[in-house]
Amino acid sequence: MKIFQDIFAIRGAIKDIRHQGKSIGLVPTMGALHAGHLSLLEASTKENDVTITTIFVNPIQFNNSEDLKNYPSTYEDDITLLEKCGCNIVFAPTAKEMYPTEPVIKISFGELAETMEGAFRPGHFTGVALVVMKLFNILQPTRVYFGQKDLQQFKIIEQMVYDTSLDVELKMVPTVRERSGLALSSRNKRLSKVGKVIAAHIYQALKVAAAGIQAGNDIKASINAAKSNLQSFEAIDLEYLIVVRMKDLQSVETSYDHDQLVLCFAGYVDGIRLIDNLIINE
Ligand code: PAF
């Protein structure tokens, strides 16, 4: 497995791979790898000749400097894990390498970014979009793998690929969960033992509400019941719990005309921000 930190060097390697007609699978990460990332890696190694994983904690997607400072980092373990799991290349640039000067352009996404994460983390998707665009330009992937847990991120990147005619295939891989149902996230590393037990209630509440909506229960009533359930835990600080249409992430509270719907959650457990979602009518 080769590790690159600078853009010039990895561009040379990409040129060679492309020249040989090989496909490139890309797994973009911010490190602190877990089994969710490994499922992306597994999909990529199955479907591509070469798999590249990026490890870069992108400072411009954090709207909160404390959150950036506290973001977990397990670089040595990540490298060992990637080597074991068949990754061919790691790209782990420094912030200076990616942003020698403060980037000027701002990519905006209209209504897609006005809800959920976009509403609660101003500027987040502008930062995500720019780094992903840079990674696409540097690494020229054939296919790119993202987790369903970050559904809004996936939709934003899908829009960017569509609007800019990028020649890349996006793949959304189902969320990997702990046995308790808790969605795997690098941020879980910061949860206490008790916090982890409480956080598992998020999935349980989502599951009950999603099953109820699928069975024909009123959407608003189902959401309110799930909210009351979660708010009964002192350690859970709910940010949003909404049902949105998969196609445009617009919120739905009443009937839904056979659109695919997703139940989305964000909130804090023990001060750690977690997100999760369930596709209701898969
Ligand atoms: O999902 C993530 O880990 C990040 O948002 C990404 C896509 C690597 C961009 O920094």
Distance 207 CA to ligand 1 centre (A): 26
**Is the distance from the beta carbon of residue 60 to the nearest atom of ligand 1 less than 6 Å?**
no
Distance 31 CA to ligand 1 centre (A): 9
**Active-site residue 124, yes or no?**
no
Sole residue written with tokens 């990409």: 14
Sequence-distant (≥ 6) Cβ neighbours of residue 91 within 8 angstroms: 4, 5, 10, 52, 53, 54, 55, 56, 135, 138, 139
- List the structure tokens of 249: 């992430």
Q: Which pLDDT score is estimated for 282?
A: 74
Atom 9 in ligand 1: which residue has the minimum CA distance?
128
**Is the distance from the beta carbon of residue 128 to the nearest atom of ligand 1 less than 6 Å?**
yes
Atom 2 in ligand 1: which residue has the minimum CA distance?
29
d(CA 127, CA 120): 14
Q: Which pLDDT score is estimated for 214?
A: 92
Q: Which of 40, 56, 128 to mutate to test the pocket of ligand 1 (most atoms within 8 A of CB)?
A: 128
pTM given for the model: 0.97
* Contact yes or no for 273/264 (Cβ under 8 A): no
Q: How many CB atoms lie within 10 A of CB 151?
A: 24
Exposed/middle/buried for residue 194 (C-beta within 10 Å: 0-12, 13-18, 19+) = exposed
Q: Which pLDDT score is estimated for 258?
A: 76
Low-confidence ranges of the chain (pLDDT < 50): none
Where is 89: in which H helix or E strand? strand 89-91
Q: Which pLDDT score is estimated for 138?
A: 98
